[in-house]
């Protein structure tokens, strides 16, 4: 194998291990054994387990971000864009289950980026302008749009995790349709100044 091929092999083996056992449960010894190489080969390419994990997470984040960004950058109504974004995220869960499992687990100590929470925050920032425009059109305060964007993206991400663990009893299109149904129809009935009733 060339150095590039070996690196890609180690990334694939590490990804599988992190998805199955998490960061803490995976070891350089096991990853090297699965790849049929010595431990120093892993250290040579990544400096250790943390370096390999960082590469795996960076790739997953790049993939998911590209999918959602693509969904939000096309033409369409606000509802259509939200539907596309929900489908993009749920499609990632379906097609890259191992990657999603890695992202929903805790990041190793000291890692400030690369978690699902930080990624979802980035996606929510992209959704803010859609919600702000809808809020203005309905006479609501646009300054609250960032908070609602976090809620919407969190709802999709958590539902995607539930769907992944529920043996996917519904199609991805059904899950996206129900998420958007709740989000969109809830948005049409927003109170101007919401308060808790309890």
Q: What is the pLDDT of residue 105?
A: 73
What angle do helix axes 49-73 and 3-25 make, rounded to 10 degrees?
Answer: 100
Domains and their CATH numbers in the chain: 59-189 (1.10.357.10)
Q: Which residue has the higher pLDDT, 109 or 81?
A: 81
Reported pTM = 0.80
What does the alpha-carbon distance between residue 128 and residue 91 come to, in Å, rounded to a whole number? 22
Query: What does the pLDDT look like over 104-149, one tens digit per residue?
Result: 875 554 555 556 777 778 778 877 887 888 788 878 888 998 998 8
Tokens of 149: 């964007």
Query: Residue 77: CA atoms inside 13 Å, Cβ hemisphere, count?
Result: 5
The SS3 of residue 56 is helix
What SS3 state is found at 135?
Answer: helix
DSSP state of 196: -
Is a pLDDT exceeding 70 seen at residue 189? Answer: yes
Q: For residue 66, report the phi and psi dihedrals to the nearest 5 degrees.
A: -60, -40
């Amino acid at each position: 194998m060339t150095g590039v091929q070996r690196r890609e092999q180690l990334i694939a083996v590490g990804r599988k291990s992190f998805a199955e056992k998490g960061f803490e449960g995976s070891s350089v010894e096991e990853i090297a054994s699965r790849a049929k190489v010595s431990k120093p080969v892993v250290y040579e390419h990544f400096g250790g387990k943390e370096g390999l994990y960082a590469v795996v997470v960076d790739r997953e984040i790049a993939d998911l971000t590209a999918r959602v960004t693509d969904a939000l950058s096309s033409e369409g109504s606000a509802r259509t864009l939200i539907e596309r974004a929900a489908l993009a995220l749920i499609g990632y869960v379906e097609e890259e289950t191992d990657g999603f499992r890695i992202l929903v687990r805790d990041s190793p100590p000291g890692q400030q980026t690369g978690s699902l929470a930080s990624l979802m925050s980035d996606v929510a920032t992209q959704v803010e302008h859609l919600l702000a425009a809808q809020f203005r059109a309905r006479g609501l305060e646009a300054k609250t749009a960032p908070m609602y964007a976090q809620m919407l993206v969190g709802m999709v991400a958590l539902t995607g995790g539930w769907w992944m663990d529920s043996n996917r009893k519904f199609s991805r299109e059904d899950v996206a349709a129900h998420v958007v149904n709740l989000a969109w129809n809830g948005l049409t009935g927003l109170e101007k100044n919401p308060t808790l009733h309890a």
